[in-house]
Structure 1
Amino acid sequence: MLILTSLLLISGLCVAVGLTVNDNVGETVELPSVLESMKLEEFDFLIWMFNGWIIAEMSSGQLKVNLHAQFKGRLQLSPDFSLTVRELRLEDSGEYRRVGRKKGGSQIPTYKIQLHVYGVCVAVDLTVNGSMGGTVELPSALGSLNVEDCLLLRWIFNGSNIAERVRGKNAAYNHPQFQGRLQLSPDFSLTVRELRLEDSGEYQRVGMKKDGLQIPTYTIQLQVYEPITSVWIQPEYTWDPENHTCAVHLVCNSSGGLRPSYTWRMRDQTESSSRLHFFLSPGEGNVTITCTAVHAASQMSRSHTVKCIPTVGFSLCLLKMAVFSVGLVIMVSAVITVHLRERFYRQREPVQGAETEGTAPPGGRL
């Protein structure tokens, strides 16, 4: 079993894309509740949802499972509300969400798990990636055969018939999941429109020729992903007065897509990472940098223009120089003040002496 982990925080939404789990038909998988240090007693309710349907819950301290016919007898809740699914089927592929609300009324972040269940009896001839809301065409891969050579052609999704051609006439089954979204081409390729996450799974093209011989089954594994809906860049600049350059730190983020990879492009250079660090001088002017987020089914880019602008700030050296200068000014001022005071008093002493000698005593004469 292969488990890929990632975390995506969507600004303004209480949704966490947490885990992708891949496993095979017939196996058992445990989907973690990720409640961390919180206990069940702290919650008003906890719910497990599968493609929008409630399949297990905890309410008023009571655990309930098997709330969906598809999983009857195959679900089990652990004491920490982790969900175990036994005897996996192809149709168990899809999106599982753990949601909840604490007794104080505050919701906890939703934890989302994407489960892909693969068949083990039939080899997959082709893997097709699609994006939610998009359209894919699944090729019939008849090779040199013409549809007229076949008595029967049929498309099967996770064990259920969804479309067929019998004796030259096309027909689409009224499968509730695909109602109004399927179309057969003249060569029996199947188009699926307005893709949903639950459309992920195994598609088989089977058939029989007019002479009664079966033609080789063609198996396609379709994976439907959430599209990348937005990309944004977080910039941070630090002016280095010693080297007269700016240290530029950029972080690329995206929302909507599961585990995207990131590529930066600056001038003629590219780098694969979600973070980019480089130095820029004021003389280089405006520099445009583009970040592209990519996953199996979609991609989106965002550009950002950076410019190095020197900023005024005190370094330790400048601070020492300023303190020294202020101290020097104070010392010089003090010396000048003392000197002026001494000179002033020396100039006043002769004048005061002369006035004393020429003054007559009280009642006397000069």
Structure 2
Amino acid sequence: MVTAASEQILTEYKVIVQDPVYPVDLIIDSVSSISSSCNLTLTCSTEDSNISSTFTCTGKTCHQEGGEKSKVTKSGSSLHVSLSHVSIICNHSNQVSWLQKKTAADHLCLQYTEAERLSGVSICLVKKVVFSVGLIIMVLAVISVHLMEKFDKQK
């Protein structure tokens, strides 16, 4: 029989149980275009935290401008925004698991600048077409009146 007096503690362990990380979300807050560059502001968020960062893309090259790049969340996990080639990655991780969301930065900028360009061109194009058609109709009207008068005089 072993008594309490003869028990000896050989080793102690501190066990911390971590849950898997919360799902992560990557939200595009704004996209703006100035000449040949495009600025994206994104928010990377989880259930218990969020960070925001700005990226500037020129052609096919993007770089991170400002805002938080990483943050330790309330639950002790890590929230990180990074750039890999032309993809923006929002990563939420701890020692047990990780989740991430990606978005293509160059694709967002191309969509924005293309839509902006098309909307500007289409309004201008409509004005040009309407003006041109109106001018052609007026010229044809003058010519037909002139021809009608000429044919009337010949009869």
TM range (shorter): 0.5 to 0.7
Q: Residue type matched to 2:138 in 1?
A: V
Give % identity: 10
Report Cα offsets for 1:280-339 as digits up to 9, x if no partner: 1233274233334478x8784525242232423323x863x3454234314421331222
Q: Does 1:314 align with 2:119?
A: yes
User: Residue type of the partner of 2:24?
Assistant: V
The structure with more radius of gyration: 1
- Counterpart position of 1:68: none
Distance 1:192 1:335 in 2: 89
Q: Which residue of 2 aligns with 1:333?
A: 136
1:245 alignment partner in structure 2:
37
8 Å CA contact 2:91–2:100 kept in 1: the answer is yes
Distance 2:24 2:153 in 1: 88
Alpha carbons of structure 1 residues 298 and 338: separation in structure 2 relative to 1, 3 Å: same
CA distance in 2, matches of 1:335, 1:191: 91
Query: Match for 2:140: what amino acid?
Result: T
Of Structure 1 and Structure 2, the greater helix share is in 2
Provide Cα deviations, 1:13-68, integer angstroms capped at 9, x if missing partner.
xxxxxxxxxxxxxxxxxxxxxxxxxxxxxxxxxxxxxxxxxxxxxxxxxxxxxxxx
SS of alignment partner, residue 314 of structure 1 = helix
1:291 aligns with 2:86: no
- Whichever structure has more strand as a proportion of its residues is 1
Distance between the aligned counterparts of 2:153 and 2:90, measured in 1? 87
Go from structure 1 to structure 2 and tell me whether the alpha carbon gap of 1:290 and 1:238 turns closer, same or farther (over 3 Å shift).
Answer: closer
- Aligned CA distance change for structure 1 residues 243 and 344 (closer, same or farther; 3 Å): same
Give the partner amino acid of 2:144.
R
Query: CA distance change for structure 1 residues 299 and 250 in 2, over 3 Å: closer, same or farther?
Result: farther
Are residues 1:302 and 2:104 paired? no
**Residue 347 of structure 1, CA deviation:** 3.0
Distance 1:331 1:340, change over 3 A: same
Distance 1:292 1:351, change over 3 A: closer
Alpha-carbon separation, structure 1, partners of 2:136 and 2:27:
51
8 Å Cα contact 2:24/2:44 also seen in 1: yes
Please give the alpha-carbon distance, in whole angstroms, between the structure 2 residues aligned to 1:342 and 1:288. Answer: 64
- Structure 1: gaps of 5 or more residues: 1-164, 171-184, 196-224, 263-273, 353-366
Partner of 1:228, secondary structure, is coil
Do the aligned partners of residues 326 and 226 (structure 1) sit closer, same or farther apart at CA in structure 2, a change above 3 Å counting?
same
Give 1:233's aligned residue: 26
Change (3 A) 1:331 1:290: closer
Q: How far is the alpha carbon of 1:239 from its aligned partner? A: 5.8
Give the equivalent residue in structure 2 for 1:344: 147
CA contact (8 A) 1:231 1:254 kept: yes
Distance of 1:301 and 1:234 partners within structure 2: 15
**CA distance change for structure 1 residues 326 and 339 in 2, over 3 Å: closer, same or farther?**
same
Q: 1:275: Cα distance to partner?
A: 1.3
Name the count of aligned residue pairs.
124
Matches of 1:327 and 1:253, distance apart in 2: 49
- Quickly say closer, same or farther: Cα 1:332–1:277, change in 2 above 3 A: same
- Runs of 5+ in structure 2 lacking a partner? 63-84
Pairwise CA RMSD: 3.8
Q: Deviations over 1:67-102 (max 9, x none)?
A: xxxxxxxxxxxxxxxxxxxxxxxxxxxxxxxxxxxx
Q: Which of 57, 79, 95 is residue 280 of structure 1 equivalent to?
A: 57
Where 1:302 maps in the other structure, the secondary structure is: strand
Higher RCO (Cα < 8 Å, 6 or more apart): 2
